[in-house]
Amino acid sequence: MAEPPEELLAAVKDQAQARVRMDIRGVAKHLTPEAVDSLRASFPGLPPRVSDFNIAGCEPRGDDFVFDIRYSARDQSFVVRSRWRNLEEGWRVVHAERLWAEGEKRPGIVSRILGFLLRPLASLRR
């Protein structure tokens, strides 16, 4: 099995640390527009604030690498799966999604409404 290059591991950790710091620019700099769309679609509401992360898995898929990052948020944790590809700009996420466990409670109506209303504002900041 192919091991991920050091520069890829550094990018993955940089993005996860930015997520913990709530550094939106630090997270977004690693995302392609398609990855932003897929990630938003998998979080029907506001993503929770996280306090820690660990790399739960890494798998090569052709020239890409798929990472599962487990984030800790208060009394819960969740996994974001991201597909990284080496583009002209360097390693970037081309697809990302939150994985939901069977029976896991999803965000409530208020969170979904806030997420729906705030998404257009977030895209204006780019």
Residue 78 pairs in a beta bridge with 71
Q: How far is CA 63 from the centre of its chain?
A: 20
pLDDT, tens digit, 9 for 90 and up, residues 25-37 = 999 999 999 999 9
Q: Report the mean per-residue pLDDT for the chain.
A: 84
pLDDT, tens digit, 9 for 90 and up, residues 22-75 = 999 999 999 999 999 998 888 777 778 899 999 999 999 999 999 999 999 888
Which CATH number is correct for 6-124, 3.10.450.50, 3.30.2320.80, 3.30.565.10, 3.10.270.10? 3.10.450.50
Any idea where the domains of the chain sit in the sequence? 6-124
Report, as an integer, the average pLDDT of 7-12.
98
Beta carbons of 42 and 55 less than 8 angstroms apart = no
Give the model's pLDDT for residue 112.
Answer: 44
